[in-house]
Amino acid sequence: MSASELNGYYFEDISVGMTASFGKTLTEADVLMFAGVSGDINPSHINEEFAKTTRMKTRVVHGMLSASLISAVLGCKLPGPGCLYVNQTSNFRAPVFIGETVTARATVTRLDAKRNFVEFETICEVDGKTVVDGSALLWVPSKESK
């Protein structure tokens, strides 16, 4: 596969209102792997006996694991390969439980042609309920910079 086949959208090809999404059912394995990779071994995520004593009464998925699905949308779909994160804000609105399907969506809200920045509204939902929302700012290559 050539380098040109790996490129996502160029800045010139993006317009306000464009959207992309990615969904994933978060499993026990995902939670344990995320704990290992991130170092976040909080027992609220990995120890059911401890989690029974918490507000949620069962283990919850790491908030950042759910939010990381936004990165999958941005890095793989829109704008896709070649873009670079500049900023991300995330508001955690509701817990996600093991076995639930999280759908992350990013929608273009603003373009800054001077700096090749694209701003996105970001949201993660479970069964139509918002669990994470926020915004992202990315640098996107232009056709001239390829």
Q: pLDDT for 87-140, tens place per residue? A: 999 999 999 999 999 999 999 999 999 999 999 999 999 999 999 999 999 999
> What are the pLDDT digits (tens) for 39-88?
999 999 999 999 999 999 999 999 999 999 999 999 999 999 999 999 99
21-145 maps to CATH 3.10.129.10: yes
Q: Where are the domains of the chain?
A: 21-145
Cα Rg, the chain, nearest whole Å: 17
CA distances (Å), origin 139, targets 2, 23, 34, 56, 118: 22, 24, 27, 38, 6
Global pTM value: 0.92
pLDDT tens-digit profile of 1-46?
444 556 789 999 999 999 999 999 999 999 999 999 999 999 999 9
